[in-house]
Amino acid sequence: MANKAALLPVAWRIFKRDWRRKDLLILLFSMVVAMASISVIYLVIDRIESATEREVADVLGADVVILSPREIDSKWLQIADDLNLVKATSVEFASVLFANEKLQLSTIKAVSDGYPLRGRLEISDEPYQETRNLNTNPPQGTLWLEPRLFSVLELEKGNLVEVGYTDLQVDGAIMLQPGQGSTLFNIAPTAIINIDDLEATKIIQPGSRVNFRYLFTGESEALSEFIEQVKPQLASSQRVLTIFDESPVAGSAITRSKKYIGLSSLLTLILLGVAIAMSAGRYARRQFDMSALMRCFGLSNKQVLTIFSYILVFVCVFGILFGGLVGIVFQEFLITFLSQWITAELPKADYSVLLIPTAATAVLLMGFSIPSLVQVKNVPPMRVLRRQLEPMSVGTLSIYLLSAATLVLIMWVQMQDFKLLASVLLGLVFVAIIFACIARFMLWLLKRGAITRSAAVNFSLRQLDANKGITLLHLLAFSITIFVIALMILVRTELLGKWQQSLGENIPNHFMVNVKPNEVTEIKSFFNANQLEVVELYPMIRGRIVGINGEDVKTAVPAEGQSHNSLRRELNITWSTELPEGNDMVSGEWGWPENPSEPLISIEEETAIALGLDVGDSIDFTIGSESWSAKIASVRSIDWQTFTPNFYIIANPGALEQFSATYISSFRMEKSDKDLLAQLVKKYPSITVIELDRIFEEVQSIIAKVSAAVELIMTFVVAAGLALLWAAMEHTFDNKYKQSAILRTLGATKPFIARSFRFEYLWLALLSSSMAVVAVELITYLLYRFIFEIEFEFHFQLWALLPASTLLLMLIASWNGVRRVTSPSPMSLIRPS
Amino acid sequence: MLTAIKLGKRVKTGESELTILDDVSFQLSKGKSLAIIGESGSGKTTLLGLLAGLDSPSSGEVQLNGQSIFSLSEEQRAESRKENLGFVFQSFQLIEGLTALENVMMPLELKGDRKAKQKATEMLTKVGLGERLNHYANQLSGGEQQRVAIARAFVTEPALLLADEPTGNLDTATGKKIIELMFSLNQELNTTLVLVTHDIHLAELCDESITLSGGKVIESSVQMEQGAVANG
């Protein structure tokens, strides 16, 4: 008996032959796309994602922050040490700074060595002058101050400032600090001191109101474990902050891009799986004679299986080598050509991660081609004498189970997202069933249309109906492929558009807070005089929720709402007659009755849900030292991604007249106009200007990165779709080959046959693209609504574009194929060899 | 020696049973040739498939050199084909995409023969294709393709050669040459030859013949030894 090694050269010879005959081309192409796409996910996209997350972490100053009103349990710090996390601490409290016989209430941050762990501080000698980047705390005995403190306290670099019981020397102005985006509404300007000077200030005494920020960085797995261990032990006043809490725009861009990449990878794998199954099936059918012959040569079916398994291994090895190479070339391309904006800060490529794509690609090939392989093994040897003998087909259920198991295995390795997998698979099955029903009906309808004056048209219509099973299979393959490609291109375009829109040309990039009521008119004039557009100046009062419907908040709010952010801090309250931009009514109506009998408010939706509030409930606030109650007249949703002032609570005008408010606004200022900032702060020393343009630059860079990741993965979705289209197209040609020869023996001319075949592709293109359009509209609606959470609109351009481009694509793809299948002489029927 | 003992093949078609082959027996000595003659549908191809062990009979048995091939497992039967059998088909069944030489090397390689190339070259030279070793099947004429098939069948020096209408796809002159070639190799290598054919003239060249009709032997020149039948 020939041992397995003796079969290897035979397998190699058949593999070489099939390579030459291009029988394995689609299978190999699918493998290359599979390997390349998974490699790119591991080599590039993962790195872009981690670089992006690191960049967002720069904004936060750390990967994870624990906020606490008191020192945290030392055991938690021990856990961090055990997990090799790097730590830093920032102790924050309010205190009055004295200098030049002036005083100002400030937020003091006493920071330890290593602060900030991520990102940087930008410090300049004088406000709005040239900055230097630092990632360290101020030297002992010195402090850094926000620009406003320079003007209020009339300071220069080198002056002394009294902080509690000690004097510290001014070392510079804080122009950018981590967490700046989230500290917009800190009315008190910030001073940063060295934590070693804290004791000397003697400010913190038992009972002092202090916020501790514990900063941590480290490996992502260690961080996850740290959060997992600490989170259950948090008191209601303590919170864990991650990057997603800190920068909603970048956070949501990353979250959506991750969802998109997850969805794209999954669809790529499914398309490739089907393409592999289809091309392996086609390959197997073309090997039936070979298999029968091998059995006549004396090989057992196990040995035949061994030979074809070897061939599959060769395909696998070549696919992995070429695909890996494509992945590496992609990564090199990015490094070389896009390093300016993408890869400058990417972690180094680790080629050992290619082991995972290698395994995943191999599993994908085996999982989707084993049913075909089994068929080759089962070819009855009598086929050499009777060609019509076919192998028993493998149980359909077992094929589906094997394929599904393969996908589950790969998804588990790649993203561990079974929910996404289950919903996409079920969605596709649902779409396939609907498609099949519509297609059957359309075929029935088309057959009735076969009464035109063109014999080729009539013939093509009858052919579609005559081979109903095959036509349905092709229609399903084409329509699902077109559907997936169109869907992913569309979602990508709208995601990118949405991100660009969120960073649009004219959106405000500066916030201005702490404007006194008597300065409002003057400041408007200042902006008008300098041709700067300022968003409405909103009055702002800060109040704390203490009761609901007259009951103490501690008992009135359900347990799950007790830890909500709105109860832990003072909320921003304003009054307005106009509904601010980015606000939408959820319940109740916007607007105020004239002279209401009691104060009315509109509350933000998520706060209302968390606290179990609805229209008609009343809320008790403490504002300063006074109490104030108001009745909820409406509930609003807020788009937090608009860079304009947003308020949890909006009251009717006049409801808060007994309280003194400061005003807040946002405006857009280009870099070239920055001199005006110094003038503004000098003229109105009490106001604080927060430069969001620095944060915008960060966010823009982040979005550029996630966009690149999204573009990259989409390339592979399209490639996978083309692989499947190609496989389906070849499948159609196989059937047409014999049909063409028969028609020629019956006297049909080559042009007639070619024309009728092309008409068939025309009907297939129109039918499949129409079904795809309907499915795209339906699925995008569901995706936008429930996954990406963006607004849905009909895509009317698709209704013309998709059928036209599908038709063009199919005509181009079938052109050569139709020529190929119409060229053989009818003799091929008589003499198959 | 090849022996068929009361071979029968029946298939179920719905409720009824169709008899394709019924009670076929014969015995053929080593080096002899046998023609199986009959109309289309008479059971010739089924009989050939059973003799090769490619199909299983409903009754009866086939012995090759005294060994009942249907008492063997599927794997053992395959092994027996590899060691003892050669095939020539009406439609040549050359492996597309492989050269003439590679086609002939194939059964030798499957046996793990290290001299596959040398033996295949010699055999192809013997059948007159020494100059066309590296031609692909589609570059050869019908007669040449059948020569390659014959070379492939004889290259392993099988004990039994089964040929299914070997001249069915060839013109008369080419067919004659092919038959001459096959018989000369048959004699040279002392191979037992079983030939399925419509052609009465071709059948006359064989040492023995049986004629089938409706799955039954209606005429036979081969005798069944009593002992063999009794044992069966």
pLDDT in tens, A529-557: 887 777 678 888 888 899 999 888 888 88
What is the CA A188 to chain-centroid distance, rounded?
36
Minimal C-alpha gap between A333 and chain B (Å) = 38
Inform me whether the C-beta atom of residue B154 falls under 8 Å from chain A C-beta atoms: no
* Cβ pair B128, B147 in contact under 8 A: yes
Asked whether the predicted pLDDT for residue A1 surpasses 50, the reply is no
* Cβ pair A101, A155 in contact under 8 A: no
A-B contacts (CB, under 8 Å): 102
pLDDT tens column, A663-678: 888 888 887 777 787 7
Inform me whether the C-beta atom of residue B45 falls under 8 Å from chain A C-beta atoms: yes
Enumerate residue ranges in chain B where pLDDT < 70.
223-232
What is the CA A43 to chain-centroid distance, rounded?
18
pLDDT tens column, A317-341: 999 999 999 888 887 776 665 555 5
Residue in chain B lying closest to A21 (CA): B97
Q: What angle do CA A495, A496, A501 make, to 5 degrees?
A: 100
Q: Which two tokens stand for residue A555?
A: 């008992």
Minimal C-alpha gap between B208 and chain A (Å) = 22
Please state whether B190 falls in left (phi above 0), alpha (psi between -120 and 50) or beta.
left
- ipTM score for this prediction: 0.75
Residue A55: per-residue pLDDT? 67
A52-56, A696-700, B50-54: range with highest mean pLDDT: B50-54
**Helix or strand holding residue A784 (H, E):** none
Minimal C-alpha gap between A827 and chain B (Å) = 12
Relative to beta strand B2-13, strand A571-575 is unpaired
Q: Residue A385: which of B49, B106, B145 has the nearest Cβ?
A: B49
Q: What DSSP state is assigned to residue A127?
A: T
Residue in chain B lying closest to A1 (CA): B79
Asked whether the predicted pLDDT for residue A644 surpasses 70, the reply is yes
Residue A125: per-residue pLDDT? 87
* Cβ pair B75, A302 in contact under 8 A: yes
Q: Supply the pTM of this predicted model.
A: 0.68
Residue A459: per-residue pLDDT? 77
pLDDT classification of A393: cutoffs 50, 70, 90: low
pLDDT classification of A650: cutoffs 50, 70, 90: very high
Asked whether the predicted pLDDT for residue A346 surpasses 70, the reply is no
Using a CB-CB distance cutoff of 8 angstroms, which residues of chain A are in contact with residue B78?
295, 298-301, 303
pLDDT classification of A597: cutoffs 50, 70, 90: confident
* Cβ pair A271, A719 in contact under 8 A: no
pLDDT classification of A192: cutoffs 50, 70, 90: very high
Residue in chain B lying closest to A22 (CA): B97
* Distance (Å, whole) CA A261 – CA A47: 13
Task: Please report the residues numbered 87 through 116 in chain B whose beta carbons come closer than 8 angstroms to any beta carbon of chain A.
Answer: 87, 89, 91-98, 102, 106-107, 109-112
Residue A628: per-residue pLDDT? 92
pLDDT tens column, A412-426: 666 666 776 777 778
Using a CB-CB distance cutoff of 8 angstroms, which residues of chain B are in contact with residue A9?
109
Least confident among A138-152, A186-200, A446-460, B71-85: A446-460
- B141 burial (CB, 10 Å; 0-12 / 13-18 / 19+) is exposed
**Helix or strand holding residue A348 (H, E):** none
Relative to beta strand A239-242, strand A64-68 is antiparallel
pLDDT tens column, A771-799: 888 888 887 887 777 766 667 778 888 88
Residue A400: per-residue pLDDT? 62
Give me the sign of the Cα torsion angle B107, B112, B118, B123: negative
Minimal C-alpha gap between B74 and chain A (Å) = 7
* Distance (Å, whole) CA A643 – CA A696: 10
Across-strand partners of A573?
Answer: A541, A649
* Distance (Å, whole) CA A312 – CA A540: 70
Inform me whether the C-beta atom of residue B56 falls under 8 Å from chain A C-beta atoms: no
Q: Residue B93: which of A2, A382, A384 has the nearest Cβ?
A: A384
Q: Residue A290: which of B78, B79, B95 has the nearest Cβ?
A: B95
Which amino acid is it at A348? K
* Distance (Å, whole) CA A688 – CA A680: 10
Asked whether the predicted pLDDT for residue A181 surpasses 60, the reply is no
Q: Residue B110: which of A299, A831, A833 has the nearest Cβ?
A: A299
| Residues in CB range of A191: below 8 A, 6 or more apart | A97, A106, A107, A108, A109, A143, A144, A145, A146, A149, A161, A163
Minimal C-alpha gap between A18 and chain B (Å) = 7
Minimal C-alpha gap between A14 and chain B (Å) = 8
Residue in chain B lying closest to A381 (CA): B54
Residue A310: per-residue pLDDT? 93
Relative to beta strand A600-604, strand A626-638 is parallel
Question: Cβ contact (<8 Å) for B87 and A296?
Answer: yes
* Distance (Å, whole) CA A149 – CA A105: 10
Residue ranges and CATH numbers for the domains of chain B are 2-231 (3.40.50.300)
A384-393, A555-564, A575-584: range with highest mean pLDDT: A575-584
Asked whether the predicted pLDDT for residue A485 surpasses 80, the reply is yes
Residue A758: per-residue pLDDT? 87
**Three-class SS of chain B:** CEEEEEEEEEEEECCEEEEEEEEEEEEECCCCEEEEEECCCCCHHHHHHHHHCCCCCCEEEEEECCEEHHHCCHHHHHHHHHHHEEEECCCCCCCCCCEHHHHHHHHHHHCCCCCHHHHHHHHHHHCCCCCCCCCEHHHCCHHHHHHHHHHHHHCCCCCEEEEECCCCCCCHHHHHHHHHHHHHHHHHHCCEEEEEECCHHHHHHCCEEEEEECCEEEEECCCCCHHHHHHC
Residue A634: per-residue pLDDT? 93
What is the CA A39 to chain-centroid distance, rounded?
19
* Distance (Å, whole) CA A324 – CA A321: 5
Q: Which two tokens stand for residue A764?
A: 């297939």
* Distance (Å, whole) CA A319 – CA A455: 45
Tell which residue, B132, B140, B199, B138, has the closest CA to residue B164.
B199
Minimal C-alpha gap between B20 and chain A (Å) = 14
Q: Which two tokens stand for residue B111?
A: 């046996």
Question: Cβ contact (<8 Å) for B55 and A9?
Answer: no
pLDDT classification of A831: cutoffs 50, 70, 90: very low
Q: Residue A13: which of B98, B112, B137 has the nearest Cβ?
A: B98
Question: Cβ contact (<8 Å) for A832 and B82?
Answer: no
Inform me whether the C-beta atom of residue B131 falls under 8 Å from chain A C-beta atoms: no
User: Got the DSSP string for A275-332?
Assistant: HHHHHHHHHHHHTHHHHHHHHHTT--HHHHHHHHHHHHHHHHHHHHHHHHHHHHHHHH
Residue A388: per-residue pLDDT? 62
Distances (CA, A) of A320 to A280, A326, B8: 17, 10, 52
Helices A25-40, A248-286: crossing angle, 10 deg rounding: 160
Name which of A1, A25, A289, A296 to mutate to probe chain B: the one with the most chain B Cβ atoms within 10 A of its Cβ: A296
| Residues in CB range of B64: below 8 A, 6 or more apart | B1, B2, B3, B80, B84, B159, B160
Asked whether the predicted pLDDT for residue A79 surpasses 80, the reply is yes
Distances (CA, A) of B45 to A51, A454, A628, A831, B48: 70, 46, 102, 19, 5
Name which of A4, A10, A13, A385 to mutate to probe chain B: the one with the most chain B Cβ atoms within 10 A of its Cβ: A385
In this prediction, what percent of chain A has a pLDDT beyond 70? 85
Using a CB-CB distance cutoff of 8 angstroms, which residues of chain B are in contact with residue A382?
49, 54-55
| Residues in CB range of A427: below 8 A, 6 or more apart | A779
Residue A732: per-residue pLDDT? 76
Q: What angle do CA B35, B38, B44 make, to 5 degrees?
A: 70
Question: Cβ contact (<8 Å) for A297 and B81?
Answer: yes
| Residues in CB range of A474: below 8 A, 6 or more apart | A728, A731, A732, A764
* Cβ pair A602, A614 in contact under 8 A: no
pLDDT classification of A185: cutoffs 50, 70, 90: very low
Q: What is the dihedral of CA A378, A383, A388, A394, to 10 degrees?
A: 0
Least confident among A100-104, A308-312, A489-493, B221-225: B221-225
pLDDT tens column, A9-23: 889 989 988 888 778
Question: Cβ contact (<8 Å) for B109 and A385?
Answer: no
Q: Which two tokens stand for residue B29?
A: 């000595």
Residue B225: per-residue pLDDT? 52
Tell which residue, A31, A128, A38, A136, has the closest CA to residue A88.
A136
Interface of A with B (CB under 8 A): 1-3, 6-7, 9-10, 13-14, 17-18, 20-21, 289-290, 293-303, 380-382, 384-387, 831-833
Minimal C-alpha gap between A284 and chain B (Å) = 15
Inform me whether the C-beta atom of residue B144 falls under 8 Å from chain A C-beta atoms: no
Residue in chain A lying closest to B141 (CA): A833
Q: Residue B74: which of A300, A386, A832 has the nearest Cβ?
A: A300
* Cβ pair A553, A567 in contact under 8 A: yes
Minimal C-alpha gap between A379 and chain B (Å) = 11
Minimal C-alpha gap between B108 and chain A (Å) = 9
Q: What is the dihedral of CA A534, A535, A541, A546, to 10 degrees?
A: -150
* Distance (Å, whole) CA B168 – CA B116: 29
Which amino acid is it at A535? V
- φ, ψ at A280 (rounded to 5°): -65, -35
- Preceding amide of A178 cis, omega within 30: no
What is the overall mean pLDDT for chain A? 80
In this prediction, what percent of chain A has a pLDDT beyond 90? 11
Q: Which two tokens stand for residue A136?
A: 């360290």
Relative to beta strand A618-623, strand A538-548 is antiparallel
* Cβ pair A736, A821 in contact under 8 A: yes
